[in-house]
Structure formats: structure tokens, C-alpha cells
Amino acid sequence: MFCSSQLSQPMNGLKDIVETRNFKAWLLDQYGVLHDGKKPYPGAISTLKNLATAGAKIVIISNSSRRASTTMEKLKGLGFDPSFFTGAITSGELTHQSLQRRDDPWFAALGRRCIHITWNDRGAISLEGLDLNVVENVEEADFVLAHGTEALGLPSGISPRTIDELEKILEKSAARGLPMIVANPDYVTVEANVFHIMPGTLASKYEELGGEVKSMGKPHKMIYESAIAIAGVNPSESIAVGDSLHHDIRGANVSGIESIFITGGIHGNELGLTSFDETASLDSVKTLTAKHNAFPTYVLSAFKW
């Protein structure tokens, strides 16, 4: 495990790291690092180009319910050149692969009938190719599959639900002892400065109810191993970049790789930041990293060169 409570001094930009360290693979979070869900952050596209030109193998590693191909299409639509990326792995992709292959004993033991919690306004998730039967009644289900927090996916289509309504379904599911798969372990995300509740919040509730949860992304080691395999390098040659201490930085610590904490993302308000690229005080960063037990190698205000 790579984990140091001795926080490095903040860096001016990625150029400083590229010129002093020889990381072959850069594992990049997308939300809060490259873009805000609606538009790229200032300088993010040019910084990505500079990083790729320097020879880095760039892999997107994202807690997204979407599959990797959908994530790459989104990045392309936001103006990021697909040729700069070696590949991508998402928590949604891991979920799909695990349910499809069922080569893991835990997944092999699952039935085929599921309660599907998905998105409505943010776009439903397809279960095509997984040979699953989506049911509405908890009594008929073998497990709960959470891709979103806005609706139930039903054979007849999407049926919007409030968080309170979904939690009542979770209470019944936990009482029956149904396992829950979480395709996006994030608690919240920020999209164009608007916070959205994510499936990780439902997972926490389910665990409080005594339910079994299988989380499929950061901070768990499996998604980092997949990203490193895509890059074709060793963990010691990799560095992760993210804005979530609990997911990105803690995940890097657990996976034994170094990391860069972007302070202007999900933790911006906690750090007292009010504008893009504003520098957080080192004391405030140290306090926050200790609180989350997640320790980055480097600290940057934004993804910049």
C-alpha cells in the first residue's frame, strides 16, 4: 500500500511532475478533473494534449454507471481528442463485465431476477446482453442493482421514484437479505456546479440496514488493476489523478500507486475555495486528508500544465 501522511508541497502544474518523475501511465478521473459534466475546465484540453505529447499512456478511471465506450463518447463530445487516451475503465463497465461473465464465485451465485435502480433525467442504463429479468416486487428479486438514484427500471419502461421511495424499497430488500450491486460508488457528483445524489449514498443506507453491498469502482483495488492492465505497465510506473479523497486518493493508496489530489473539485467548498484554480492552504488540505485517511503524493489546484 502506498500511503504517506507526509503531504507533499503543492505543485505549480503537471509539467513539474512530468519533468521530475517518470510515470508511464496516468490514470485520470473525469468529473472534477477534466470537466464539470457540461464543459471542460479551463486549460484541461491543452493540458491533456501536453501530457499525451510527453508520451504518457492516459487511461480514464471513472466511477460512472455508464460503460467505458459511452464515457469516451462523452469526452469526445466535450472536445477531448480520443487519440490522447490509451483506454478507459468505469465502474459501470466492471459491473457489466462481472454480470456477463459471472466467472467470480460471488457473481456466479447470483440469480437472474433483479430490482433495477437507475436514472431518469440523466438517462437510463441498458441491461442488454446480461440475461437479467427486471422485476418490480422485492419478493420476486434475487438481488438489487443500482446504476442511478432517480427511478426503477421496469419491463414497461422507466418509473421515476424519489429517494424516500427508493429507500423504502431498500428496507424491504435488506429485510429479505438481498445482495446489492452498486455500479457507481460515488456519494455525490457535481455537474455544472449542481450536486447530484449518486448510488453510493444508497449503498451506505443499505449497509446501515444490514444489507450486503458489492461496490464496483473506486476506491476498490479491482478498478485500478484494470486501468493499469489497459496501460500495460507496472503499478510503480502509474499515478492517479482525482478530486475525491475518499474514492480517488484512498483508492490509489490502497492500490499502491502515487496520486495527485485536485483541490478544486468535489472538496472545493470544504477547503474554502470560491473560484476556479484558487489555491487551498496547505493546512486545510492536511486537515482534510487526515479526516478521510487518504494521502496524495502531490496537490494541485486544477488539472493544468
Q: How far is CA 87 from CA 3, 81, 234, 291, in A?
A: 26, 12, 16, 33
Both 167 and 241 in a single domain?
no
Give yes or no for residue 124 having a pLDDT over 90.
no
Give the domain-ending residue among 195, 215, 235.
215
Looking at residue 8, its pLDDT comes to 59
176-193 core/surface letters (b: 16 or more CB in 10 A; e: else) = eebbbbbbbbbbebbeee
% of the chain surpassing 70 pLDDT = 96
> Same structural domain for residues 203 and 228?
no
**How far apart are the C-alpha atoms of 21 and 8, rounded to whole Å?**
14
Cell triple for 213:
453491498
Residue 4 lies in a domain: no
Q: How far is CA 121 from the centre of its chain?
A: 20
- 102 domain residue, yes or no: no
Give me the mean pLDDT over the 242-255 stretch.
Answer: 97
Flag whether pLDDT at 4 surpasses 60.
Answer: no
47 and 184, same domain (yes or no): no
Do 192 and 50 lie in one domain? The reply is: no
Same domain, 211 and 231: no
Most distant CA pair in the chain: distance in Å? 59
The average pLDDT across 10-39 equals: 94
**Beta carbons within 8 Å of 146's beta carbon, 6+ residues apart:** 117, 180, 181, 182, 183, 184, 199, 202, 203
86 and 115 in one domain? no
Is residue 208 a part of any domain in this protein? Answer: yes
pLDDT: which is higher, 191 or 21: 21
In the block, cell 482534510 appears at: 288
Residue after which a domain boundary falls, among 160, 186, 215 = 215
Across 43-48, average pLDDT:
98
> Does 248 map to a domain?
yes
Residue 7 has a pLDDT of 57
- Regarding whether 192 and 284 lie in a shared domain, the answer is no
| Residues 186, 133 share a domain | yes
**Per-residue pLDDT reduced to its tens digit, 77-104:** 999 999 999 999 999 999 999 999 999 9
Mean pLDDT of the chain: 94
Is residue 291 very low, low, confident or very high in pLDDT (cuts 50, 70, 90)?
Answer: very high
The CA-atom distances, in angstroms, between 58 and each of 79, 161, 292 are 16, 38, 27
Q: Where are the strands (E) in 110-192, listed by range?
A: 113-118, 133-134, 143-146, 151-154, 157-160, 180-182, 188-191
What's the DSSP call for residue 245?
Answer: I
Do 51 and 136 share a domain, yes or no?
no
CB 132 within 8 A of CB 112: yes
Same domain, 139 and 198: yes
DSSP string, 1-49: ----SSPPPBPS-HHHHHHH---SEEEE--BTTTB-SSSBPTTHHHHHH
* Domain edge (last residue) among 167, 193, 215: 215
Residues of the domain holding 47: 14-93+218-300
Residue 28 in any domain: the answer is: yes
Is 188 found in the same domain as 177? yes
Mean pLDDT of 37-64: 97
| Separation of alpha carbons 146 and 180, rounded Å | 7
Residues 116 and 211 in one domain: yes
What does the chain come to in residues? 305
Is pLDDT at 9 greater than 70 in this prediction?
no
Question: Which CATH number is 207's domain given?
Answer: 3.40.50.1000
Place of cell 474514492: 247
Number of domains comprising the chain: 2
The pTM is what? 0.92
For residue 100, is it within any domain?
A: no
222 is a domain residue:
yes
What is the CB-side half-sphere exposure of residue 286 using CA atoms within 13 A? 9
Do the domain assignments include residue 305?
A: no
Tell me: the pLDDT tens digits for 169-179?
999 999 999 99
